[in-house]
Structure 1
Amino acid sequence: MKKNYKTKFHQRQYMLSKDFEIYYYEDNAPSAVKEHIHNYYEFYFFLEGDVSIMIENKLYPINVGDILLIPPNVKHYPIIHSHKTPYRRFVFWISTEYCNTLLSQSPDYVFLMQHACVKKEYIFHNDIFAFNIIQSKVFRLIEEMNGDRFGRNAQISICVNDLILHLNRIAHEKMYRKNYLEETSLYQGLLSYIEEHLDENLTLEQFAIKFYVSKYYISHIFKNNMGISLHQYITKKRLYACKNAICANMSITQAYLMFGFGDYSSFYRAFKKEFGISPKEFREIHITKETLSSLGT
């Protein structure tokens, strides 16, 4: 980045432009900044320095590659711990009016802004590869804003929207990839636990204690993945286990007691609903087939 693209730091906390502004700051002995708020969104791309950020009375340590998003009317200020390394960062301001314009085109443009406002999560970590891509997009925007090539204004608009959409995309994919992995892990854990404890009393309350999540969340995840309720799945697993046990010449009573049915009447109703015949009818059909098979007919 050329030195003339860097901006001398100023304490101004209001926008001169109607839509957006971007600055590249590097300070060897930065002056203190008081706690403040503003009426626009502020993206803060951390490049170098020994700095933390105080946001709404909570201290956030930051590392190279971190991005902070400060929504309007959120109190914040930086804390400089030492001057051993320069304090370098990009600061990108976007007006609420411009966000609303983007929102009218697609809600994908403002996912991150809405997330920060609702969830009160302001810091987003990136590895060096992801941050290098972000930096290249920021550099391109700054270079375009400092140039005078044909189509400058149109290209600036494209660069700004591309940067904003990219930030939203990587945040969304990271958040929902994490959720997907967590949900998949929970779902697979439920299947394994059911398989290993089919003979026990299995309840949503028991699963909630075992997996440290609410029973409502378990019901939701299981239904989304299996297409049937957890209770329906357990019943089906028990019925097929009983069916296989009966085929292996276990008595009906032993089978339904072994696989979690508390009484014969509930077992009978569930079995007939699933297979269309009673357990005794199924056993008789199976015995007949076995006899005929042994006779070679």
Structure 2
Amino acid sequence: MNDFKTATEAAGIRYTHTFENRPKKEDYYRHNHSDYELYICFSGDMDFVVEDRMYELPPDSVLLIRPFTYHYASLHNFQKPYHRMSINFEKNTAFPETFSFLESEKEFFVWKQGDLLRMAEEAEAKMAEYGRNDSILYLKMFINEMLLGLKYAGKTFQKTHSLNPSVSQILRYVNDHLNEPLSLKKISSNLFLTPTYISQVFSKHMKIGVMDYVKQKKIHLAQDMIANGISPCAAARQLGFGEYSTFYRLFQKYLKEKPSAPLATRGREKEAPALPKH
């Protein structure tokens, strides 16, 4: 199979389907976002990190990644093909019957309900065939079909482990205090860990600096708050930013847009490019 990447974005949904015979190490950036993500691994020699949990991904495994959770793929062998699909969507994309499932703690599944790749390829073919509005509707149906399948998948796959006890402790503290001013010194004094140790252990296991993690989390939370009608100034204040100029600069750095953009685009759909055939 030749390398390919298909993608579309519309109605608050981002869909990407990628196959690489020789995956490139630099492609798998570490990030979080304000929407849900279905991450489907068809093949690849890899682990996947979600906050302080590392999962070994067998073929046809599915991760349900919830908003504001830091995550990344960690490939072991770049000589083996890497085939995956990711679908980002807002909560209102899901049918009411799946709302409670989205809020559950389950996040890792091995698909046992038929040929997952064939199911995905059939959905992709339909989206390429249909007109814009119908393809968006079909994509929403596909997402809900996936969610319902996961809801009744039974026991989740358990082969996982925590990255490091100190990292888990740091993450819990940070995520419980995102509405406050946070600094490395403050985290250190409250956890009784030295700043040097916190910086080293966090960077080693999370592949990101602790304060960079804090800033990204706060900015993505602010993006969601603004999209839901809170003013940028109020969002900055509620998330512990002492200076609006600092908030403004970080918002542009991480999201490549002004803080007013999520509010201005609320309720508007982006044009959906047609899915290319491969």
TM-score, normalising length: structure 2: 0.48
Rg: which structure is higher? Answer: 1
Larger RCO, structures 1/2 (Cα 8 Å, 6+ apart): 2
TM-score, normalising length: structure 1: 0.45
